Amino acid sequence: MSVPVVAFFNNKGGVGKTSLVYHLAWTFQDLGTSVLVADLDPQANLTAAFLDEDRLDELWPNDAPHATIYGAIEPQVKGVGDILDEPFVESIDESLHLLAGDLALARFEDELSLQWPLCLSGNERAFRVESAFWRIMQRAALRVDAAFVLVDMGPNLGAINRAALLACDALVVPLAPDLFSLQGLRNLGPTVKVWRREWQDRLQRAPVLPLPAGAIKPLGYVLMQHAERLDRPTRAYQRWAERIPFEYAEQFEEANSPRQLGLVKHYRSLMPMAQEARKPMFHLTAADGAMGAHVNNVRTAAKNFREIADALVERIGL
């Protein structure tokens, strides 16, 4: 039985997707639920949130294999073998583990594009390449006894993200209340349907291999609350926020299911403070500068992400 894999993805960047995954991962850690986080974004922003530059320098050596997601698929990129039997997993805390991202992962794009049509002829190597992310995440999750995997992805509709999404059982869409997020939904919804259908067609021709089902079940969206700005009044944001549930339902055909998974409030100066301290907002203390009104915001952030985590677990069906 495979470990559930949940993607956090939007065709629109800058909506707080990486921060959402980071804080949910720490929330599950605090709850004692073992979770594996996979950074499949070639920009590796999530990995940089967890690890300092000294540790990143150790994971990305110039003269040795990288201890990252790229290191696990490098034999495929070079055409000399399959994925590593034991991909490296960075333990962040007792119940929180990371498949580290890597800028070199962008090199995998061409190989994935090349192998995708070859799956139609039942080519075994093609299926091994297209299923690499799923197999790596499953091996890593089983090794650390993770209850599920949370996946961060870059904001594009290329071959890397196609393989990443097909490796996932479920999808959460982070959204901002603006026109760009709505347009991202209009791109993402149809694309997910096409990729799901094309993968099902390929599975009918597949050799006997462990392969992902490519379900990509929509779990809902998380609305990332805006900060009020003088040049964009609250009413303008409200206009877009009111349209999101209907647009989401139309694109994902989820008219009878819950749509909004949660709302991430805007914590203003708390976020940069957390980034500076390299910890989640709800772990900030007076020593980090969280004093006065910040103390209440720290408590609110903990409750905020706990509610989203509870909703996520319920919709996954765990």
Given a contact cutoff of 8 angstroms between Cβ atoms, the answer to whether 26 and 94 are in contact is: no
Given a contact cutoff of 8 angstroms between Cβ atoms, the answer to whether 241 and 263 are in contact is: no
Dist. CA 154–CA 10, nearest whole Å: 8
Token representation of residue 14: 């800058």
Given a contact cutoff of 8 angstroms between Cβ atoms, the answer to whether 100 and 62 are in contact is: no
Q: For the whole model, what pTM was predicted?
A: 0.94
Q: Residue 229: pLDDT band by 50, 70, 90 thresholds? A: very low
Stretch 233-258: mean pLDDT, rounded?
Answer: 76
CATH of domain 5-269: 3.40.50.300
Eight-state DSSP code of residue 105: G
Alpha helices in 131-178 (DSSP H): 132-143, 159-166
Give me the residue spans of the domains in the chain.
5-269
pLDDT digits (tens, 9 = 90+) for 131-184: 999 999 999 999 999 999 999 999 999 999 999 999 999 999 999 888 888 888
